[in-house]
Amino acid sequence: MSVLRRPYVLFVALFLLVAGCSAGAAETSAPRGAAGPESSAAPSVPPSASTPVAPVRPAEIPGLGPQTRAQIPAEARQAVVVTGDGVDSNRSAVVLYTRDDPDIGWRPGAGPWSAHNGMKGWSDHHLADDLRSPVGVFGLTDAGGRLPDPGALLPYDEHPRFAVSGEGFFGEPLDGSFDYVVAINYNRVSGVSPLDRTRPLGEERGGGIWLHVDHGGPTQGCVSLPEDRMTELLRTLDPAKHPVIVMGDAASLSR
């Protein structure tokens, strides 16, 4: 019996050894990390492919609130922003913004420049002789002055009636204040000389609100800049870009 069992045991051991090696070879022949037919694992997705990217919003003009921004016409691509130090202050800062690419939005083009405004500050309901500058967004369509056209892009009316004399609130001379002006379209008809006195809202609401040359003191209601800044504006404001002025004290503009 012992003689017969030895070949049988040797055969079984040899069979198990061969079967075990072939099974191991089958397991290692598959690529490392590959799933079998029964695997339900989903293919890996890069995190960036499933993460939504927030759209980049066009830049807005700093300091302007939603009500003020809503008043800027969609076609406007130039904005002269005049920000008063306070509602009762006659000092302000001016920055010219441009919007050449709607996808990029508003970008500063020049400034800030120091300026004067109405003697008593600002008003959202300007009246004649209240010595305050009107708050709001207004078109800039017409220019002029006592001196010859310095290269203005807006229609320019050179006229001796722009000559002015006398003294300002602090005794400073007013000579040369209207050498260069840009009419602010508050209570006026656009497309005519700044000298035109038509007042659509009535005389009691005032008028003749201009950007003009600074005389070193507050104004009756206009915004005044140094002469070199006025000539720069005249050579930059382009009617094809529908320029506007956004003006008021900082608190009012932030609404």
The domains of the chain are located at 66-253
- The pLDDT, as a whole number, for residue 56 is 81
Give the chain's residues under pLDDT 50.
1-41
pLDDT value for 48 = 53
* CA dihedral over 76, 81, 86, 87, signed as positive or negative: negative
Catalytic positions: 212, 222
User: Does pTM top 0.85 for this prediction?
Assistant: no
| pLDDT confidence of residue 55 | 74
* Cβ atoms of residues 189 and 172 within 8 Å: no
- Tell me how many degrees the CA angle 91-97-100 measures, rounded to the nearest 5: 170
What does DSSP say about strands 223-225 and 136-139: parallel, antiparallel, or unpaired?
unpaired
Q: How many CB atoms lie within 10 A of CB 4?
A: 7
- The pLDDT value recorded for residue 235 is 98
